Structure 1
């Protein structure tokens, strides 16, 4: 079985920004096994990485969207498909959002 090797290299994108590139080797048969094209598999792998980094709080939704070259709103709409909530609120944020809701419903 081939080894999977990740290599980082610096590149400059079309806009002149300095970027780094992560290359992951995978068996050529893998996309066929998954019944997708190589391009679809690679986009799915980029999306998986972006969603996981967003879920862990390592990237903002905007940063994750930029990683997969999607508009932020589209990225957020895709998150539930990956089992990740688009909005990540803690208990305090939820409580403050619904503060006073019980009082209004009783009126």
Structure 2
């Protein structure tokens, strides 16, 4: 799938305050955007995981870190996928 590039101007002071570099901060912004768009119902967990740059299972497991919780049907899928991998 083709990707579009979006450029954001991030003040140097933000990177210094966050003790990070532009690349790491950009990756974090992608995850944060994916989590928020998923939470708002604007992206499915599959699409949000693509935006975050991780697998769907990894994305669903990471939601707890942001106090966002998957829907019951996604938890069922996650449990099923986890059980079948063992």
TM-score class, shorter-chain normalisation, is: 0.7 to 0.9
In our comparison, the structure showing a higher alpha carbon Rg is: 1
Aligned position for 1:33? 17
Question: Which protein, 1 or 2, shows the higher relative CO under an 8 Å CA cutoff with sep ≥ 6?
Answer: 2
Number of equivalenced pairs: 73
Tell me, which stretches of 5 or more residues in structure 1 are unaligned? 1-16, 94-107
Greater per-residue strand proportion: 1
Return the match for 2:62 from 65, 78, 86. 78
TM-score between the two structures when normalised by the length of structure 1: 0.61
Return the match for 2:71 from 81, 88, 94. 88
Q: Equivalent residue of 1:23, what SS?
A: coil
Aligned position for 1:48? 32
* CA-CA distance at 1:21 after TM superposition: 2.1
Greater per-residue helix proportion: 2
Alignment RMSD (CA, Å): 1.7
Tell me, which stretches of 5 or more residues in structure 2 are unaligned? 74-86
